A and B are shown apart, each in its own frame.
Chain A
């Protein structure tokens, strides 16, 4: 009895160690391959299998969950209502200021002969699932490659940048949020017009690093995408606390995301822009400039 039991424990322990070792090797392989190849094929397959179940459960439970969540967060809803009221008044004031600015911009564009790009094409999608653990900063949407979505595209809502498309299957796509530590966004601080990199920290405020900053940033300064990876001018967030620039040192500051990532429901995927397009535009500009120079000479 004892030896039989002892042998059984050994078998269980050996299997346990084997599985842990296999998991370790899998993780090492995935890190080495930077999440591509076979691992991505498996992820897309798993996503395709789970999506119908997630959509079904989401469809059935969304109204009930909404009521439960609403009752549980009654106090928070009142605060949110007040916050939104303030925000509406603030935006009304901004609209008045924006009208004047738009007129100025139109005049400048006319003077410089610039062409305003058409509004970027977007696909509206609904978030129907999240990652399976509290450490996952990903969301799943109900649109995929059939709708023109490809990996790398920016995802926004009315408040600003949410993240980027990370993985795509035919009918769904995974978004990696800007709070994820794997996401880095090239940004521009509007008040100083200087550029930097914003990276996620897994939650809470984002980290801003500016390597060649000459001017300090102040609390509330707005930070937007600079157009190198995502379309330019999308609001990323605002500076949480003032930070100074010292010669030879990196300016570091925290940025509060513009979007409320715990509350996003519908999003827009920017399908009408990609970094490659930006590169081609730059190339076109370069050719035009060169031609003009030659012609002018």
Chain B
């Protein structure tokens, strides 16, 4: 599949992730333990083995800008955060054949790190995110839900973007 097609499909996946995040996983809907998964972060991780690293960075940045525009925070914070996620994901290019342990550690590690990074950016830009009462839960729990959702997310995104050998982008 052409790289351009994969990028377009990746962006559609990101839009779908944002729509699901803001509707199905909104407060008052499906939020076990009161915290939603970080679907967009998971989508960027799951897309990483299928497109080139440069495109992945652009997809991550675009996903972040969209989240900033739809969310209530400062414009640019999620853009920076998801660019870092894309950069980290482009290094690991995690796939299920790598083994469940590696996938689990990578998904949880990147998700929790991204939530923590957003908290730090939010605090740096005056949102006071670090002083929120549930900050620890908001940082940690999305990592667990992302791990649970990793199996269907990797499978669906893998089917949409087709098989791709590691190293194709490098």
A-to-B contact residues, CB < 8 Å: 5, 8-9, 11-12, 15-16, 19-20, 22-31, 35, 39, 42-43, 45-47, 50, 53-54, 57-58, 61, 65, 68-69, 72, 127-140, 166, 174, 176, 180-182, 201-205, 261-265
- 9-residue interface stretch from B30-38, B98-106, B150-158: B30-38
Is the beta-carbon distance between A69 and B29 smaller than 8 angstroms? yes
Is the beta-carbon distance between A31 and B118 smaller than 8 angstroms? no
Is the beta-carbon distance between B57 and A19 smaller than 8 angstroms? yes
B14-67 at interface with A (beta carbon < 8 Å): 15, 18-24, 26-32, 34-36, 38, 40, 53-54, 57-58, 61, 64, 66-67
* Count of chain B residues near A, Cβ 8 A: 63
Determine which of B34, B87, B122 lies in contact with A135 in the assembled complex, contact meaning CB atoms within 8 Å: B122
Is the beta-carbon distance between A181 and B127 smaller than 8 angstroms? yes
Is the beta-carbon distance between A57 and B26 smaller than 8 angstroms? no
What are the residues of chain B within 8 A of A39 when measuring CB–CB?
75
Nearest chain-B residue to A11 (Cβ)?
B54
Is the beta-carbon distance between A263 and B61 smaller than 8 angstroms? no
Is the beta-carbon distance between A263 and B73 smaller than 8 angstroms? no
A263 to B90, CA, bound (A): 38
Is the beta-carbon distance between A135 and B138 smaller than 8 angstroms? yes
B-to-A contact residues, CB < 8 Å: 15, 18-24, 26-32, 34-36, 38, 40, 53-54, 57-58, 61, 64, 66-67, 69-80, 83-84, 86-87, 90, 115, 118-119, 121-122, 125-129, 131-135, 138, 142, 170
Nearest chain-A residue to B167 (Cβ)?
A5
A130 to B127, CA, bound (A): 18
Is the beta-carbon distance between A24 and B24 smaller than 8 angstroms? no
What are the residues of chain B within 8 A of A135 when measuring CB–CB?
71, 73, 118-119, 122, 127, 129, 132, 138
A20 to B31, CA, bound (A): 31
What are the residues of chain B within 8 A of A127 when measuring CB–CB?
28
What are the residues of chain B within 8 A of A23 when measuring CB–CB?
61, 64, 76-77, 79-80, 83
What are the residues of chain A within 8 A of B18 when measuring CB–CB?
50, 132
A137 to B119, CA, bound (A): 14
What are the residues of chain A within 8 A of B64 when measuring CB–CB?
23
Quick one: given A12-B57, A30-B74, A72-B32, are A24 and B19 in contact (CB under 8 Å)? no
